A and B are shown apart, each in its own frame.
Chain A
C-alpha cells in the first residue's frame, strides 16, 4: 500500500494529498481536461516530495551554508527563502518547508496544464497561481487551531503576491514568539513561510512571566530549534502588553518591506491586529461584524 494518500475531498473539486506530516489541499480552476492533467501531475510529483526532503533532513535542520547546498529542488527553495535572515538571526531551512512544498506542487501543475488559477494549501502556507484578470479572496484565521475567519484579503493577478503563509505559537510548528497568528503575503510561498515564522518570533514579550516557554528539545528531541525556548502558553495580557508585543513584530515586519521579503502582513495577538503593507493596496476587511445575526446559530 503506498504511503501517500491522494483523493478528492467530499466536494469532488478539491484534491487532498497527504504524506507523513504534509497535508495539501489543492484546487485548480480551468477546463475539465486541463484540471485533470493538473491534478494528475500534482499527484505524481507529490508522492516523491517527502522522500526527497527526508534524504537531506539533517542538513535542512541546520542553519544554511553550514554544510553546503542541498540537492533537492524543494530543499534549495527552502534554503533560498531563509538565507536573507541569516546569519544575523538564527533560522533553518525548515522555517520554509511548508511553503516550499506548496510551491513545488503548484509549479508542477502550472507547468503541465493551462489553468485560470490554482492554489496549493499546505496547512495554511499557500502557493497561488493567477491567470490574467483572476483574483483570490483569502480568509485569515485568528488561531490556527480553530477554524474561523477574522479577516479577508483580495489578491489580484496584477499584484506581485503569489504566496501566503501563517505562523503562530498555536500552530503546528513551534514558535519563539507569542503571536496567535501572523499572516504574510509575499511573492512566493516559501518566502512568505520564512517571513511569517520570523515575524511571529518577533511578536514577543521577553521575560514576561505570563509566557510559558519550554526548550524545543524537551518537546521533540530531533527538532531544528534545539535548546531554544518555544512558546507553550500565553496568559491573558493587558492591552498595553499586547500592543508592545505587536509593535516589536510590526517594526520587524516593516524592515522586511523595503527588502521585498514581504508585501503585507497581518499580526494578530489576543484580539488586536496590526496590518503592515507598503504600496500594495490590499483590501483586508474584518468579517466579524458582518452578518453575524444571520450567519450564526
Chain B
C-alpha cells in the first residue's frame, strides 16, 4: 500500500504514511523533502538560526522542548496563530515576559482583526498601467485604485474599508482574498479599468499584459541623455531616448550642446517642453519606453534637409535599454535600419546595467483599534501614548513597522519581512494580522497592563507546541533595548 516516496511517521500509533509535501492526520508532522518534520501553528521567532530553516526536525525534539536552550532574548513569540481578543474585551491571548539584559520585558501578542486595512503596492514599471484614480479589479471586482506615479514606479492603493465592507458581499470577499494573497506573498492578477492587466507578487517582478518586467528605467529620457551623452559623443550623430514621460534628444539637449553636438535636422512629434525634452511623443502603453509604439520611427517627422545629411547616424533607445534600433539616413534623408555598431551595443548594455531589477513591493497598512488595544491594557489610550513615546515597540510578526505620526496606532509593514503566511482573515470580511507590543514590565504595569496574565517565555516553550522560525538577519531584533520611562 505505501508508496516508495511516502514516509512512515511513528510519532503516534496511527503510523501515517505521509507523502512528500503532505501532513499526517494530526496536521503536526509532515514529510518535507523526505524528512519527517514537526510543524506547529504558533510561530516563535528564533534569532539564532538563519532564515530558510523554518521547521524543527523531528529528531531534534529534545531541543525544541528545552526551555534552557530557548532562553530569554534569543526567542521572540510572534502573534501569528496566537488568536485574537475578538469578540470580547479580554486580555490578549499571550502576554509573555522574557528577561533582556537584566530587565523584564513584556511582549503582548495578539492577532488583530483589521477592518481598516489595505495594501500599498509599488510596481516598478515604466509601462502604463492605467489612468490615475481608475479602479483596480481582481476577478472583476473593484479592490482598489490607481494612485500616484513615482520615479520608475506606479503606486496602487488596494483594499480599505470601503471595498472590504462598503460594497457588495462579493466585492468584500474578493478584496479580502486579494489582500490576503498579497500579504502572504502570493501572486495576484489585477486589471486596471482602461489600462493594463498586471500580475503582482511581493518581492517579485511584475508581469504587465503578459510581459515580464525585468528592469526599472534608469531615468526619464532626458535624464538618460544627460547620463550617457559623453559615451555617445563621437560614436553616433543623434540619439533619441524614447520615454512615455519625457523623451530626450541628444543634439537639442543641454548635455549635447555642452559637448558641441551639431544640429541634425531631427523633427520630433509630441510637445516640446524645454530644448531636447519632449512630452507625449506617443500614447502610454506597454511597448517602447512605456509608450504604445513598436516602431520608433513613428515618433519622428521627416528630417529637415537644412540640418540633416546623408549618412547621419541615429540611435533610438528606450529608458531601460530593453528596446533599441540604429538607423543611417539615405540620400533622400530617410532613416534605414542597420545593425547596431559594437560601441553602441555597449552603451545600450550600460543603460540596461544601470536599471535596477523591477520589483513589486507590498506594504500592509492597518490601524490597531479599540478592542485590540483593550487586549493589551485596561486603559487603551495609554498604550497609544506609550507607543508614541517609543516606550513600546510595535512589531508585526516580529518585523519592524513604520508607525504613522498622529493619532491612533496606524502602521505599515513590508510583508516580505514577515514570516510566511503570517496573515489570515475572518469572513466579515477583514484581515487578521499579527501584532506584538513589547515594553518593559514596569512600563507595562504603569499603563494598566494585565500583569496577572503575564507568562514567562519558558512556560510558552515548554508548555505548548510552537512552530519556530528563524529571525531574519535584516530585521532588528524585536527585543533589542528600547527607551525607558525612567529618568536617565
Known contacts A21-B25, A54-B13, A296-B428: A221-B371 contact under CB 8 Å? no
Is B370 a contact partner of A294 (Cβ separation < 8 A)? yes
Contact (Cβ within 8 A) A146 B22 = no
Asked whether A147 is an interface residue with its Cβ less than 8 Å from the other chain, the reply is: yes
Q: Which of A50, A143, A219, A271 contacts B22 (CB 8 A)?
A: A219
Interfacial residues of chain A within 142-160, with CB under 8 A of chain B in the complex: 142-143, 146-150
In the complex, A146→B170 CA distance in Å? Answer: 18
**Distance between Cα atoms of A150 and B453 in the complex (Å):** 29
Please determine whether A21 and B367 come into contact, CB atoms closer than 8 angstroms.
Answer: no
| Binary B-proximity of A223-252 (CB < 8 A = 1, otherwise 0) | 000000000000010000000000000000
| Complex-state Cα separation, A218 to B6, whole angstroms | 10
Inter-chain contact A50/B13, CB cutoff 8 Å: yes
A288 at interface by CB-CB < 8 Å = yes
**Binary flags per residue of A192-222, CB closer than 8 Å to B gives 1, else 0:** 0000000000000000000000000011111
B83 on the interface (CB 8 Å rule)? yes
Out of B22, B87, B113, B427, which one reaches A150, CB within 8 Å?
B427
Provided the pairs A51-B13, A54-B14, A220-B25 are in contact, do residues A297 and B115 lie with their beta carbons within 8 angstroms? yes
For the complex, is A295 an interface residue (Cβ under 8 Å from B)?
yes
Q: A7-B463, A292-B115 are in contact. Are A20 and B11 (CB under 8 A)?
A: yes
Interface: B291 (CB within 8 A): no
Is residue B402 within 8 Å, beta carbon to beta carbon, of the partner chain? no
Closest chain A residue to B3 by CB distance? Answer: A221
- From A7, A10, A222, A288, B428 is in contact (CB under 8 Å) with A288
Taking the complex as formed, is B298 at the interface, i.e. its CB lies under 8 A from any CB of chain A? no
Query: Which A residue's beta carbon lies closest to that of B368?
Result: A297
10 A-B residue pairs with Cβ-Cβ distance under 8 Å, sorted by A, are A20-B11, A20-B13, A142-B427, A148-B86, A221-B19, A222-B2, A288-B428, A296-B86, A296-B428, A297-B116
Interface residues on B, range: 35 or more
- Say whether A256 faces chain B, with CB atoms less than 8 Å apart: no
Q: How far is the CA of A219 from the CA of B23 in the complex (A)?
A: 9
> How far is A96 from B42 in the complex, measured between Cα atoms in Å?
28
Bound-state Cα–Cα, A20 to B453, Å: 29
B12 proximity list for chain A (CB < 8 A): 3, 19-21, 50, 54
Task: Mark each residue of chain B from 444 to 488: 1 if its CB lies under 8 Å from any CB of chain A, else 0.
Answer: 000000000101000000010000000000000000000000000
On chain A, the residues within 8 Å of B13 by CB distance are: 20, 50-51, 54
User: Taking A10-B455, A146-B424, A146-B426 as contacts, is the C-beta distance between A296 and B22 under 8 angstroms?
Assistant: no
B425 touching A220, Cβ below 8 Å? no
What are the nearest 7 A-B pairs in CB distance?
Answer: A20-B12, A148-B426, A54-B13, A297-B369, A21-B26, A21-B25, A221-B17
Contact with A along B5-18 (1 / 0, CB 8 A): 01000011111111
Q: A236-B139, A297-B112 given as contacts; is B427 within 8 A of A219 (CB)?
A: no
| Chain A residue contacts of B84, Cβ below 8 A | 147
Interface string of B51-89 (1 = CB under 8 A from A): 000000000000000000000000000000001101100
A218 vs B19: C-alpha distance when bound (angstroms): 8
- Tell me the bound Cα distance from A57 to B1 in angstroms: 15
* Closest B residue by C-beta to A287: B87
Decide: A20 and B425 in contact? CB cutoff 8 A.
no
| Distance of B464 from chain A, by nearest CB (Å) | 8
CB distance from A22 to the nearest CB of B (A): 8
The residue of chain A having its C-beta at the shortest distance from the C-beta of B26 within the complex is: A21
**Complex Cα gap A297–B432 (Å):** 10
- Chain B neighbourhood of A149, CB < 8 A: 87
Q: Which of A20, A147, A219, A270 contacts B26 (CB 8 A)?
A: A20
